[in-house]
Amino acid sequence: MLMTSGMNFGIKNSIPHISGVCIGFPIMVILIGLGFSIVFEQYPILHEVIKIIGLAYLLYLSWLIASASPDRLESKKSKPFTFLQAALFQWVNPKAWVVATSSISAYTTLNDAIYRQVLIIAGAFFFAALITAGTWLVFGKGIKQILQSAKQQRMFNIAMALVLVASVFPVITQLYQQYLV
């Protein structure tokens, strides 16, 4: 999504988006690490509801990316994610939940100060997100230089939308097996 934002809106206009990711995900890790996951243990249906909402939202974003024409992207109506949208997106992103809960359970111990451990993990995610998200953003801007025609940009948007759909396929498979088989 950041690569698409970099291509369609440029680096400067995508700074709120990257900032929301880099700050929003570590905040999510901190809250999960400090006990928010207990709510899901007591109310597992809430976790499933968030997973389904997140899946639907990712598929909706895929549709928006795939159907976005370069002309529409350059209009005043089309805008990159705001800081708040990107930060809140972490909470409906099923992949973010898996990474956050897995890292907390894998890299914390009960024998040591949990607060310190959680802050170290969140800090590591902040710096990792800054580097990786920044790379995707710059790569997206570079792609814009290569994809000169509207047709090329449209094909790129469709390809990125398909990659986003593919990234949620494991969640779709898990939900299918859990509820429909």
Residue pLDDT, tens place only, 128-165: 999 999 999 999 888 888 888 888 888 888 998 998 88
**Section 53-62 average pLDDT:** 82
- Provide the pLDDT confidence category of residue 72 given band limits of 50, 70 and 90: low
Interacting residues of 29 by C-beta distance below 8 A, sequence separation 6+: 100, 103, 104, 118, 121, 122, 125
- Three-state DSSP class for 66? helix
**Section 94-112 average pLDDT:** 79
Q: What are phi and psi of 12, to 5 degrees?
A: -60, -45
Q: Is 153 exposed, middle or buried (0-12, 13-18, 19+ CB in 10 A)?
A: buried
Q: Where are the alpha helices (DSSP H) in the chain?
A: 2-31, 37-42, 44-67, 70-73, 83-92, 94-107, 114-146, 150-167, 169-179
Confidence (pLDDT) at 141: 87
Cβ(20)–Cβ(85) under 8 Å?
Answer: yes
This prediction's pTM: 0.71
Dihedral, CA of residue 69, residue 136, residue 55 and residue 70, to nearest 10: 0
Q: How far apart are the C-alpha atoms of 103 and 110, rounded to whole Å? A: 14
* Longest Cα separation, the chain: 58
Cβ(25)–Cβ(41) under 8 Å?
Answer: no
Radius of gyration of the chain (CA): 18
Report the phi/psi class of residue 79: left, alpha or beta, with left for phi > 0 and alpha for psi in -120 to 50.
Answer: beta
Average pLDDT, the chain: 85
